[in-house]
Amino acid sequence: MLLNIENLDVFIGSTQILRNISLGVNEGEIVCLLGRNGAGKSSIIKSIIGLYPSRSGKITFREKDITPLSPRKKVLSGIGYSPEDTRIFTELTVEENINLSTWVRGKGEIFSYEKIFAIFPKIKDFLDRKGLNLSGGEKKMVSIARALALNPSLLLLDEAFEGLAPLVVNHFMEALRQIRKLGVTILLGESNVRIVSQITERTYIIERGEIIFEGHPREILENERLLKLVGK
Amino acid sequence: MWVIYTLNGLYFAALLFLISLGLNIILGVMGILNLAHGSLYAIGAFIAAWVIIAIGMKVPPFFLYVTLLSGLVLAGIVGFLMEKSLIRFMYKRTLEYQLLLTFGVLMLLEDVIKMIWGGQAYYASAPFDLLGKVDIGGHVYPTYFLFVMAIALIAGLFIWLFMSKTKLGIMLRAISLDREMATGLGLDINRLSTFAFVLGSGLAGLAGALVVPTTPALLGFGHEPLILGFIVVVVGGLGSLKGALVGSLLVGFTRSFGIAIFPEIELPLLFLIAGIILVVKPEGLFGR
């Protein structure tokens, strides 16, 4: 298993935001964390990358305990992160945003611009534009490209489809399939079960900081109670 | 006399630009409100005065000006030690902790200055005297003030080029724009923060060293520049080089013309300007 989380508890101050989270991601999979806004998807992703420290539990990546590691060490071990609201550095150009990742990688093997352009050809047209002047869809592309430039074996993608037009959603799904073909495993945080059902084989439902379901997204679509729970 | 007031305004602005640039880098990149910034300025002034007095006229004049860099170097070293030993534990703390800690460091550095250089004034006018005076439109003006303006201009250009063209500068800007995302992207936040603090401290020390040939270094030397530096940051806005420049010019000219026209309210006027900007445009003229 590429990523394994066992009994993870996370607190912000005195408030527990994640309870006893256990999940696994196999190499080459696209696995989804499904849930409504505020259910805890982003918190799980932030805990994996190290932005939210855990109080108890264990995160292993490639059989190595990475729980206490800093975000930098986690990134260098092969985890890339594209957050919910893209978090593009608005005053830097698209090229500078992506270059930051290649500089972090240093002398390690890089995910080249050629590969990025093969997945998102449009980026080529606005490489010198500042993050401030990008549309929502363009920001999403850059955010994923920036995470890919870290050359990760596991890509953490939070709400990659949020706010996108249906046509663009299809384009992004195709992009994720291409990324997977390049050998990158994806853990996706998503709130739309219809999208999830088209791209993943395994889904976890998160509700109030707990995992309440694990299975194929088809099972969710066929289960009224689960459908009601995820809100779509 | 207006020519002289204008030039004096530019001179004040040049010094404030160096101080506020350092303050701005530290506040922008690290989110640390450093109350000890004025003490780093004072350290720069004392070491430069001490070196200039020690070497006297034994070296060619050019080296006398190179010794002013001692302020930058020593303040940078002190900044490095401060960041490594104390400041780095404050990144995740609230503002009150930062203020308490940096105020404590301010008091500590004042005592260290007193312990090393004693309570007397250090005056080292050689770099000022050597440059003499120039005639500008029929007015005699110290050449040294023009030298300070040139150094501030060079430092500003250097910082602009550094921040916009180098890997290190772009990484610092990324941290300043979104520290959490920069962390999640794997930037080496600790090393970059140390570098930003050293750079900001060095600029404060350089400003102090540039002042000491015109004004004796005394205990409490850094208090007023600290306050004025904060006014510049409030006026110009956080994280903006343009803001630091415009804020420095505004404060510098207000000070210069204020001293000439209404000296009684020169300092309150600066606070009034800062207050108005805080109400009308809380992020400052060019802040984010």
* pLDDT digit string, tens, across residues A123-138: 999 999 999 999 999 9
Query: By the CB < 8 Å criterion, does B170 face chain A?
Result: yes
Q: Do A150 and B184 touch (CB under 8 A)?
A: no
pLDDT of residue B252: 94
Query: Chain A interface residues facing chain B, Cβ-Cβ under 8 Å?
Result: 46, 49-51, 71-72, 74-76, 81, 83, 87, 89-92, 96, 99-101, 103-104, 146-147, 150
pLDDT of residue B55: 86
With respect to residue B261, please indicate whether it lies within any of the assigned structural domains.
no
Confidence of residue B61 (pLDDT cuts 50, 70, 90): confident
Q: How do residues A147-206 score in pLDDT, each as one tens digit?
A: 999 999 999 999 988 888 888 899 999 999 999 999 999 999 999 888 888 899 899 999
With respect to residue B236, please indicate whether it lies within any of the assigned structural domains.
no
Going by C-alpha positions, the residue among A102, A133, A87, A135 that lies closest to residue B170 is A102
B182 vs A contacts (CB less than 8 Å): 89, 100
**Domain limits of chain A?**
3-230
With respect to residue B248, please indicate whether it lies within any of the assigned structural domains.
no
B185 vs A contacts (CB less than 8 Å): 75, 81, 100-101, 104, 146-147, 150
pLDDT of residue A232: 56
Q: How do residues A104-157 score in pLDDT, each as one tens digit?
A: 988 767 788 899 999 999 999 999 999 999 999 999 999 999 999 999 999 999
Output the six-digit token pair for A85: 């609201």
User: What DSSP state is assigned to residue A160?
Assistant: T
**Structural domain of B157:** 2-220
pLDDT of residue A151: 92
Q: Do A103 and B167 touch (CB under 8 A)?
A: yes
Opening angle at CA B135, ends B130 and B140, nearest 5: 75
For residues B165-185, give the mean pLDDT: 95
Query: Which residue reads 């050689």 in tokens?
Result: B126
What is the C-alpha to C-alpha distance for residues B288 and B285, in angstroms, rounded to an integer? 9
pLDDT of residue A163: 83
**Torsion angle of the four alpha carbons A44, A47, A52, A54, in this order, in degrees rounded to the nearest 10:** 100
With respect to residue B161, please indicate whether it lies within any of the assigned structural domains.
yes
> In Å, how far are A96, A145, A152, B192, B269 from A111, measured between CA atoms?
15, 9, 8, 24, 56
pLDDT at A9 over 80: yes
Q: Give the residue with greater pLDDT, A167 vs B205.
A: B205
Going by C-alpha positions, the residue among A190, A189, A188, A192 that lies closest to residue A232 is A192
Q: How do residues A13-34 score in pLDDT, each as one tens digit?
A: 899 999 999 999 999 999 999 9
With respect to residue B95, please indicate whether it lies within any of the assigned structural domains.
yes
What is the C-alpha to C-alpha distance for residues A227 and A225, in angstroms, rounded to an integer? 5
pLDDT at B33 over 60: yes
**Average pLDDT along chain A:** 92
With respect to residue B11, please indicate whether it lies within any of the assigned structural domains.
yes
Q: How do residues B75-128 score in pLDDT, each as one tens digit?
A: 999 999 999 999 999 887 888 899 999 999 999 999 999 999 988 898 899 999
What is the C-alpha to C-alpha distance for residues A219 and A205, in angstroms, rounded to an integer? 11
**Average pLDDT along chain B:** 92
- The complex scores an ipTM of 0.92
CB pairs under 8 A between A and B: 63
For residues B140-148, give the mean pLDDT: 96
CATH number of A3-230: 3.40.50.300
Q: Do A71 and B173 touch (CB under 8 A)?
A: no
pLDDT at B194 over 70: yes
The kind and range of the H/E element at A49 are helix A41-49
B contact test, residue of A91, A97, A110 with most B CBs within 10 A: A91
For residues A201-218, give the mean pLDDT: 93
For residues B68-79, give the mean pLDDT: 96
Least confident of A33-42, A222-231, B226-235, B245-254: A222-231
pLDDT at B200 over 80: yes
Looking at chain B, the whole-number percentage of residues with pLDDT higher than 70 is 100
Structural domain count, chain B: 1
B188 vs A contacts (CB less than 8 Å): 72, 104
Provide the sign of the torsion angle of the four alpha carbons B146, B151, B152, B153, taken in this order. positive
Q: Which positions ≥6 away from B203 have C-beta within 8 Å?
A: B18, B19, B21, B22, B25, B72, B155
